[in-house]
């Protein structure tokens, strides 16, 4: 028994001793490291002992330390230059075969986050090995690998194509929203419409199971929509709800990112903008470092009050010298957006930009040039330097979008003669350009033609050849187009003389050729395009109407505005006109409280133009609560949209008062209209003065006709006369409410605008003579637009007999 006990005791001692020997002391040392230098000490002392697990742990630890710091306090460059980092890099490259799938991708991810160059042999070998294993990767590793490829600008590579295919095959198995959203962003440039819809559907499903405090998930979903330039309102609205819940937790950086994404998508949400504005205002005092302040300035300045904006500009002036290249660019663009006139701040920002010019990429130099030019910043030396840099970038560019962008910005800058190299580069890529890019180049060429004095002496110039190429490429692209959705995407921002003169007819032929592709997903976009180009096309509009009526339940309620717009603006009634308006009104009415206030005003106005006044809509708009919310929203909107919305609210108020007195909506725009007239003070053209004289001769005297008469509710009539019951002219006793100077300038007597009308004798009538120029008619026909008809309706309600004369003159 004693012998057996000693044997067991000896065995236990050997086992315990053996356990101590197999303890991983290097790993234990790494696990207690609290800083980069501790990691490097362990690596330096244990080079010969380092296994693939040690290397992986050390590299991931180095990135973890960096990630926990604010960006401005990171020391990646110091880490990369450390001798022991080179040791880790060499060991990693030598041990790739020993890495499992998770470790391989984690290592690649960490090294890229530590700013290893994509052309480094380690990165290339890790990517190559990952490609060999890609089909067996779990979705978590595949997602992280896709992010790594994006970091290396390989989003269009065959490898990313393979990842896109795997995502398509395994999409139903992805249950982690974080994995899904990372993959969505990574493959966004390669998704088909079918995969796009499937990804959105899966994202929407997973969003309902996501922790509502995790705002990064919906932010990445919105980023995906931005990347593919696709507005899916149901998903956007669900993401927006999560953002609103998390406003207290969002910092200036995240608010700035979300607002930027919304702006790119042209998605407005009043509640979020107001909440973001309030939160950003609260963050002003704590945003005192260049990084956080820049984010705050970019997000808040465009929607801040003048007082807050001045405070932000003063702080920016104090911090300007501390800004890096990217921060200076961001502030310059924000200054352009708010049209700042703070010359001291502009000079400071321009100085920071000038000393960092060598750091900027081509797109960034173009953005800088555009911002400073639109700010009307005066610095010929800086603009000359920027122009030279832009030309150098252009000479070496092979990407159509980049050549187009650089060409557009170059055309802004004054230049007596254009370098042949610029024209040659444009000519080299023009056949690869889409319609939007061709249109942009046409604007640039038109500017160069106007500015180049030698052009008039050389009919066979480089410009003529380039314009001929643009025309040919534009026609070929339209004639070969076969997908309506892609064509509408290219046409979204196309406008101007070149398009209207050279491509508009061919565009309409192409759209009619694709008429069978019009469906509920694209009706609103096509309708908006027809409105924008002011082109009446009964076949297309009939198709839009029939699709809308049939599929109204699938169309988002807010899209009814764009869908109805051409019918009201262009004054066209399709065969199903009553069904169309009834269907759209029934679709949006349950959602009135969900509309952005300004959009609801625009919708109601477009309906009023078409003589539709849904009572529930009108009462919602002219409620105290709604008008208060609208005022708050208008403070956050760009000036142009703000003024447009205010004007439409006035016109809607006028239309309701005149056409629906039973709604008992008060007229509350008297002072607003007086201010408009005071600011307008329009000039009277020689043609109008000549017509005034001729009408006076016909009617028996100049005192029998008045010019530029202001009616109740502030319509301005070109000419007014009064006829008695025998249709004989009556003379005016009261003097006109305006005087015309020798230069044709109108001077209003605004104090008498409310009481300008004298009483008419029994049986007499007022006659309004309006000379309607081309803006009141569709471009491709003399068909009168909706606003002209609404104006006639209103003048008739006011007691006028209206004579509308089609007169196309410029005055």
pTM of the model: 0.87
Taking the CA atoms of 195, 201, 205 and 210 in sequence, report the sign of the dihedral they define: positive
Average pLDDT of 757-785? 89
Which residue has 């070929």 as its token pair? 476
pLDDT > 50? residue 457: yes
Tens-place pLDDT, residues 154-194: 999 999 999 999 999 999 999 999 999 999 999 999 999 99
Contact 614, 605 (CB under 8 A): no
pLDDT > 90? residue 745: no
pLDDT > 60? residue 811: no
Contact 667, 789 (CB under 8 A): no
Tens-place pLDDT, residues 443-454: 998 888 887 766
Least confident of 17-26, 67-76, 311-320, 339-348: 17-26
pLDDT at 294: 96
pLDDT cut 70: percent of the chain above it: 92
- Strand locations in 673-799, DSSP E? 705-710, 716-723, 729-730, 738-740, 746-748, 765-772
pLDDT at 170: 96
Cα distances (Å, whole numbers) of residue 791 to 413, 714, 716, 777? 43, 11, 10, 13
Tens-place pLDDT, residues 296-352: 999 999 999 999 999 999 999 999 999 999 999 999 999 999 999 999 999 999 999
Q: What is the 3-state secondary structure (H, E, C) of 420-476?
A: HHHHHHHHHHHHHCCHHHHHHHHHHHHHHHHHCCCHHHCCCCHHHHHHHHHHHHHHH
Task: Give me 319's structure tokens.
Answer: 């911090």
Separation CA 370–CA 413 (nearest Å)? 9
pLDDT > 50? residue 744: no
Tens-place pLDDT, residues 220-268: 999 999 999 999 999 999 999 999 999 999 999 999 999 999 999 999 8
- Place 416 in a pLDDT band, splitting at 50, 70 and 90: low
Average pLDDT of 16-35? 76
pLDDT at 464: 85
Tens-place pLDDT, residues 472-483: 999 999 999 999
pLDDT at 72: 74
Tens-place pLDDT, residues 697-716: 888 888 899 988 999 999 99
Tens-place pLDDT, residues 650-671: 999 999 999 999 999 999 999 9
Tens-place pLDDT, residues 509-550: 999 999 999 999 999 999 999 999 999 999 999 999 999 999
**Max CA distance (Å), the chain:** 144
Secondary structure (3-state) at 766: strand
């Amino acid at each position: 028994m004693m012998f057996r006990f000693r044997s067991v005791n000896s065995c236990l001692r050997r086992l315990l001793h053996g356990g101590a020997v197999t303890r991983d002391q290097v790993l234990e040392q790494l696990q207690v490291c609290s800083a980069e230098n501790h990691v490097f000490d362990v690596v330096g002392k244990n080079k010969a002992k380092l296994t693939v697990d040690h290397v992986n742990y050390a590299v991931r630890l180095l990135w973890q330390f960096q990630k926990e710091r604010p960006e401005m306090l990171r020391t990646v460059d110091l880490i990369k230059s450390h001798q022991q980092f080179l040791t880790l890099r060499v060991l990693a490259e030598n041990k790739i075969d020993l890495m499992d799938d998770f470790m391989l991708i984690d290592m690649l991810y960490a090294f890229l986050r530590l700013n290893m160059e994509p052309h480094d042999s380690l990165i290339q070998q890790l990517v190559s090995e990952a490609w060999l294993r890609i089909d067996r990767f779990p979705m978590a590793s595949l997602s992280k690998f896709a992010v790594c490829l994006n970091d290396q600008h390989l989003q269009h590579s065959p490898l990313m194509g393979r990842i896109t295919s795997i995502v398509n095959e395994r999409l139903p198995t992805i249950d982690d929203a974080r994995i899904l959203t990372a993959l969505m962003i990574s493959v966004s440039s390669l998704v088909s419409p079918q995969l796009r819809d499937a990804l959105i559907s899966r994202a929407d499903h997973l969003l309902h199971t996501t922790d509502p405090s995790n705002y990064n998930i919906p932010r990445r979903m919105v980023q995906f929509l931005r990347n593919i330039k696709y507005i899916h309102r149901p998903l956007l609205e669900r993401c927006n709800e999560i953002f609103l819940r998390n406003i207290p937790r969002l910092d200036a950086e995240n608010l700035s990112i979300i607002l930027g994404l919304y702006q790119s998508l042209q998605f407005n949400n009043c509640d979020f903008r107001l909440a973001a504005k309030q939160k950003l205002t609260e963050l002003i005092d704590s945003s005192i470092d260049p990084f956080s302040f820049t984010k705050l300035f970019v997000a808040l300045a465009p929607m801040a009050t003048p007082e807050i904006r001045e405070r932000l500009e003063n702080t920016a002036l104090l911090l300007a010298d501390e800004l890096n290249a990217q921060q200076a660019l961001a502030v310059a663009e924000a200054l352009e957006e708010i049209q700042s006139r703070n010359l001291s701040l502009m000079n400071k920002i321009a100085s920071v930009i000038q000393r960092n010019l060598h750091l900027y990429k081509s797109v960034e130099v173009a953005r800088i040039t555009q911002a400073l030019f639109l700010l009307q910043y005066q610095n010929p030396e800086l603009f000359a330097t920027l122009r030279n840099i832009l030309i150098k970038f252009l000479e070496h560019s092979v990407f159509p979008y980049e050549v187009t962008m650089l060409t557009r910005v170059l055309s802004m800058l004054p230049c007596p003669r254009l370098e042949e190299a610029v024209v040659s580069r444009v000519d080299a890529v023009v056949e690869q350009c889409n319609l939007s890019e061709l249109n942009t180049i046409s604007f640039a060429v038109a500017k160069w033609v106007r500015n180049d004095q030698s052009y008039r002496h050389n009919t066979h110039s480089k410009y003529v050849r380039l314009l001929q190429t643009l025309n040919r490429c534009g026609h070929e692209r339209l004639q070969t187009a076969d997908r309506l959705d892609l064509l509408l995407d290219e046409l979204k921002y196309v406008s101007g003389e070149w398009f209207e003169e050279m491509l508009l007819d061919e565009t309409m032929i192409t759209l009619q050729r694709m008429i069978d592709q019009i469906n509920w997903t694209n009706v609103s976009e096509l309708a908006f395009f027809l409105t924008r180009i002011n082109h009446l096309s009964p076949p297309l509009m009939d198709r839009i109407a029939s699709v809308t009526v049939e599929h109204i339940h699938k169309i988002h309620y807010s899209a009814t505005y764009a869908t109805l717009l051409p019918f009201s603006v262009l004054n066209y009634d399709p065969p199903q006109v009553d069904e169309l308006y009834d269907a759209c009104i029934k679709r949006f009415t349950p959602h009135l409280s969900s509309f952005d206030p300004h959009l609801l005003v625009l919708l109601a106005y477009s309906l009023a133009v078409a003589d539709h006044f849904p009572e529930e809509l009108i009462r919602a708009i002219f409620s105290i609560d709604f008008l208060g919310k609208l005022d708050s929203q208008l403070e956050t909107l760009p000036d142009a949209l703000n003024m447009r919305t205010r004007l439409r609210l006035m016109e809607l108020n006028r239309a309701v008062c005149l056409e629906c007195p039973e709604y008992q909506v008060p007229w509350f725009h008297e002072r607003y209209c007086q201010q408009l007239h005071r600011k307008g003070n329009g000039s009277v053209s020689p043609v109008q003065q000549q017509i005034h004289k001729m009408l006076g001769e016909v009617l028996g005297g100049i005192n029998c006709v008045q010019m530029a008469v202001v009616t109740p509710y502030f319509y301005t009539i070109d000419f007014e006369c009064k006829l008695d019951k025998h249709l004989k002219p009556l003379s005016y006793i009261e003097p006109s409410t305006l005087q015309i100077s020798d230069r044709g300038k109108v001077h209003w007597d605004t104090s008498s605008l409310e009481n300008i009308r004298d009483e008419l004798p029994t049986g007499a009538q007022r006659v309004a003579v309006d000379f309607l120029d081309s803006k009141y008619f569709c471009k491709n026909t003399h068909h009168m637009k909706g606003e002209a008809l609404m104006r006639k309706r209103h003048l008739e309600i006011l007691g006028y007999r209206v004579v509308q004369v089609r007169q196309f003159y410029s005055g």
